[in-house]
Amino acid sequence: MLTQPDPAGFLPHARLRSLIAALRDRGYRCLGPAAENGAIVMRELDAEEDLPRGLQAEQGPGHYRLTQDPYHRYFAWANGPQAIKPLAFAPQESVWQVRRDAAGALQFEATPPAVQALAIIGVRACDLAALALQDAHFLRAGRVDAHYAARRERLFLVAVQCAEPAATCFCASTGDGPTPAAGYDLALAELSDGFVAAAGSDAGRAVLAALDLAPATTQQIEAVRQQGVAAAAAQTRRLPGRNLRDALMGRLEHPRWDAVAARCLACGNCTAVCPTCFCHAEMDVPALDGESSRHQRMWDSCFGESHGHLHGFNVRPDIRSRYRQWLTHKLATWHDQFGRSGCTGCGRCIAWCPVGIDLTEEAAAITEGAQP
């Protein structure tokens, strides 16, 4: 956010509510962080509501606990189980429907989603990078996905620099964080008394202009830069390289696949929390009166038995082949599809794995000895 040509302003903590008000004035529903069921989630904000302060999330393999931030900041938490993905790529939706009349004739029609302008406050750099990958898949790899496009176009993204990464974070090693670089409408970096704010789009510039902020001082901008450097340095996990394609595809029979398969429950949590996973299943939901049927799609996981199902046999009948499919897709064949790895270092698959399998540890063990 410091490389943007736009001059940065300073939004004091006391005026954070005015940002939310400015967004609501422009017709946006506003989502912001809230603690629910022991985790940070994105929840709709009321007009008079302040964002929670002092929330932090301690994360480790198979571990996520809300804690208190000693500095009482708004954005001291690293991330929650979900952020933007469900708001652009709906977990479940109808894609078309069909009516059948008494004579048996079929009438098909598209079911475009009803969408409303939506601002998300507190988007992390890893999730912006992940959204760019979802955009590449749903909008630019062939046909435009009309449902994704409709949900995506209405988003206004307020990114916030991560100052206190969790132990599971490794966005510095994937090159995607901790400071947002692109893809936002507004970017904030939180200091002890307020936010350095910069716009990244025309919509963001308009909101910033309406707030009429004082310019950020050189010292404040330098503090933000140093904060980003410190947050990157604080990350303890890393991937062994940005392109592990050849290293992984050259080790498809490595014994480590058996070892990780013995631990993996094939529950699919990693794919559910991953901000770049795009697999979805399609299914028909016929109406009870028999006169119509909705064709739906729903997030799917390569860990499920049905993912590799083919008439009469399963391409991936065992957990070893499913874990290998997930890891080689995410870190290897994603390069063939989208020109980069499918991992943005958010670390959710580590925290939300019930047995604490660590993607960075598995990738390192399998590619050990390879030149990155």
Partner 1 sequence: MNGRAHLDAGAPHAATVTARTQESPGIFTLQLRLDDATAQAAYRFAPGQFNMLYLYGVGEVPISIMSDPEERDLIGHTIRAQGRVTQGLAKLQPGDKVGLRGPFGRGWPLQEVSGCDVVLVTGGLGCAPVVSVIHYVLRRRERFGKLVIVQGVKHAEDLIWREQYDRWAKLPDTQVLVAASEGAAFWPWHVGRVTELFGLARFNPECAVAMMCGPEGMMRAAADSLLGRGLPESRLYLSMERNMQCAVGRCGHCQLGGAFVCRDGPVFNWGEVKALLAHKGF
Binding site for partner 1 (CB under 8 A): 95-98, 100, 104-110, 137-138, 141-143, 145-146, 249, 252-253, 278-284, 286, 290, 293, 295, 297, 300, 302, 306-312, 315-316, 318, 320-322, 324-325, 328-329, 333-337
Asked if 66 and 56 touch (Cβ cutoff 8 Å), the reply is yes
Using alpha carbons, select from 57, 56, 54, 58 the residue that is nearest to residue 72.
54
Q: Count Cβ atoms below 10 Å from residue 282 Cβ, excluding itself.
A: 10
Q: How buried is 356 (Cβ within 10 angstroms: 0-12 exposed, 13-18 middle, 19+ buried)? A: middle
237/316 with CB nearer partner 1: 316
| DSSP per position, 206-255 | HHHHHHTPEEPPHHHHHHHHHHHHHHHHT-----S-S--HHHHHTTTT-H
CB of 325 to partner 1, least distance (A): 7
C-beta closer to partner 1: residue 302 or 350: 302
Strand pairing partners for 63?
Answer: 60
Buried residues in 289-317 as b, exposed as e (16+ CB within 10 A): eeeebbebbebbbbbbeebeeeeeeeebe
CB neighbourhood size of 135 (10 A): 16
As a whole number of Å, the CA-based R_g of the chain is: 22
Contact 96, 87 (CB under 8 A): no
DSSP code, position 168: T
Complex with partner 1: residue 137 or 151, whichever CB lies closer = 137
Residue with tokens 């290897």: 332
The answer to whether the beta carbons of residues 300 and 281 sit under 8 Å apart is yes
Smallest separation, CB 75 to partner 1 (Å): 33
Nearer Cβ to partner 1 (4/292): 292
Q: Which two tokens stand for residue 129?
A: 């990078």
Q: Which is nearer to partner 1, 219 or 311 (CB)?
A: 311
Phi, psi of 202 (to 5 degrees): -60, -40
Which of residues 101 and 212 has its CB atom nearest to partner 1 in the complex? 101
What residues form DSSP beta bridges with 92?
Answer: 298
What minimum distance in Å lies between the beta carbon of 268 and partner 1?
13
The nearest distance, CB 132 to partner 1, in angstroms, is 17
Residue 141 Cβ vs partner 1, minimum distance, rounded to whole Å: 6
Which residue, 246 or 361, has its beta carbon nearer to partner 1? 246
C-alpha to C-alpha distance for 304 and 288, rounded to whole angstroms: 28
Nearest distance, CB of residue 258 and partner 1, angstroms: 12
- For partner 1, the closer of residues 51 and 363 by Cβ is 363
Shortest Å, Cβ 173 to partner 1: 22
In the complex, the smallest distance separating the C-beta of residue 262 from partner 1, rounded to whole angstroms, is: 16
Q: What angle do CA 321, 326, 328 make, to 5 degrees?
A: 90
Residue given tokens 């009469």 in the structure block = 312
For residue 269, the minimal CB distance to partner 1 (Å) is: 17
DSSP category for residue 140: I
- Comparing CB distances to partner 1, the nearer of 5 and 104 is 104
